[in-house]
Amino acid sequence: MIWYPYQQMKNMNAPYEILKAEGPYLYTKDAKLLDSISSWWSVIYGYHQPQITAAICQQAEKFSHVMLGGLTHKPVEELSEKLAAWLPGDLDYCFFSDSGSVAVEVALKMALQYYVNRGENDRRTVLALEHAYHGDTFKTMSVGDDEDYHFILQVYGKNPYVVHIPTEIAALEKAFVRYGHELNAFIVEPLLQGAGGMRMYDIAFLKRARELCDEYDVLLIFDEVATGFGRTGHRFVADVVLPDILALGKGLTGGHIGHAVTVARKKVFTAFYDDAPEKALMHGPTFMGNALACAAAKASIELYDQLNVTARARHMEEVARKELAGFTDPRIREIRIMGGCACIEVYNAETLAGYQQFAYERGVFARPFLTYLYSMAPYILTDEELIHIYDVMKEWFRNA
């Protein structure tokens, strides 16, 4: 039996069975559905993307996987070179893993050990954001701040080594004055907090965070697992404010195979580069640098530039603003739009009950959660397809 995610198995609705997935469409036995959420925001160029599929097939003809323990191979070498050249600044050191959660775990472990390797064992605390979501493994849950996902941790009581703040500069400055010398890292989903409710905040907050991290010698971690690859209208927010460690996942392979990477700047790598074996990073997922995933990721990066995705995401933002901004209904709390993400937040989760089936009947696959009805569609959608997604959302409020 399949144990489905985030679901009460006893009373969950039967999932839609997908028989074919092509471009931005999912096909069930009786419907062709425009996917408005890109399979948890990962299938950014659509399904069965020809270049990515070809890259995977060509690599599969050679070999699918060999471990990176004592072995290496062309696909992983080419991908790490490509990432180093493509990512901003000296974000050049690529540690691969199999999922976004693990990439964030690795980032947090790196930050802690960065100080331990320098003989500073009292930098134990991580600063994080209220409403943060960084994954479902234990350490990522502890820096997360979303009761709906992380309530299980309450059995341990409050974690003394994690401090959460709102995305306000005054709170940020206060936290650094109070905790600055105990912190090893400040971790954020930059500009757009996804699973915590599609919350958006200003770049000024991150610029100030960069200054304070420099002043207090704290590592700045950007979890761009969701925001990376254009979603905010920037290729990476890291292009605007340079973090010390960057975690990427989801769109890395165009959503075709699970893979992720934690990329460090030179100063982080240097703290591990030593004769002492205990200064090595003791982490090694079995499937890190999987050859099929690396081939897919290389093709995904090439596509990003070919399709001019950053410009496309900005255009999607314009379309969303035209279609949604100003739309009102007493049940709507706020409409938020940034890059390739648009979210209608309602006051009451009941308002969205039944929306998924309503959208299904109108040819759209949607998956609102809690009080958030949102779209994070693949970048290849035409304007008409995008507008259809927003029309269905508006129709829901007009009809209900």
Ligand X SMILES: Cc1ncc(COP(=O)(O)O)c(C=O)c1O
- State which residue, 101 or 375, has the beta carbon closest to ligand X: 101
* Catalytically annotated residue among 250, 355, 372, 374: 250
Angle at 311 (CA atoms; ends 307, 314), nearest 5 degrees: 135
CB 44, min distance to ligand X, A: 14
Residue number with CB closer to ligand X (43 or 225): 225
Nearest-5° Cα angle at 298, 134 to 241: 45
Active site residue 47: no
Query: Among residues 225 and 335, whose Cβ is nearest to ligand X?
Result: 225
Cβ nearer to ligand X, comparing 42 with 80: 42
Report the nearest approach of ligand X to the CB of residue 128 (Å).
12
CB of 100 to ligand X, least distance (A): 2
φ, ψ dihedrals at 247, nearest 5°: -110, 130
Residue nearest to ligand X (CB): 100
Tell the residue number behind the tokens 């270049």, with chain if given: 51
Annotated active-site residue 355? The verdict is no
336 strand-pairing partners: 343
Take residue 42 and report the two structure tokens written for it: 């990962």
Closest approach of ligand X to the CB of residue 199, in Å: 12
Length of the chain: 400
In the bound complex, what is the minimum distance in angstroms from residue 117's beta carbon to ligand X? 25
Reply yes or no on whether 158 is catalytic. Answer: no
Q: ∠ CA(322), CA(326), CA(332), 5° rounding?
A: 125
Contact residues: ligand X, CB under 6 A? 40, 99-101, 104, 133-135, 189, 194-195, 223, 225-226, 249
Residue 293 has which token pair?
Answer: 């995933």
Q: What are phi and psi of 153, to 5 degrees?
A: -70, -15
Cβ nearer to ligand X, comparing 104 with 373: 104
Which lies closer to ligand X via its Cβ, residue 263 or residue 319?
Answer: 263
Cβ-based burial of 306 (10 A; exposed 0-12, middle 13-18, buried ≥19) = exposed
Which one is catalytic: 6, 148, 274, 347?
Answer: 6
Using alpha carbons only, what angle is made at residue 140 by residues 43 and 340, rounded to the nearest 5 degrees? 30
b/e burial code for range 172-187 (CB count within 10 A of at least 16 → b): bbebbeebbebbbbbb
Residues 6+ positions from 20 with CB-CB distance below 8 Å: 26, 27
6 catalytic residue (yes or no)? yes
Write out the two tokens for 289.
């640098």
* Least Å from the CB of residue 42 to ligand X: 8
Catalytic residue among 25, 45, 47, 133: 133
Could you list the active site residues?
A: 6, 133, 223, 250
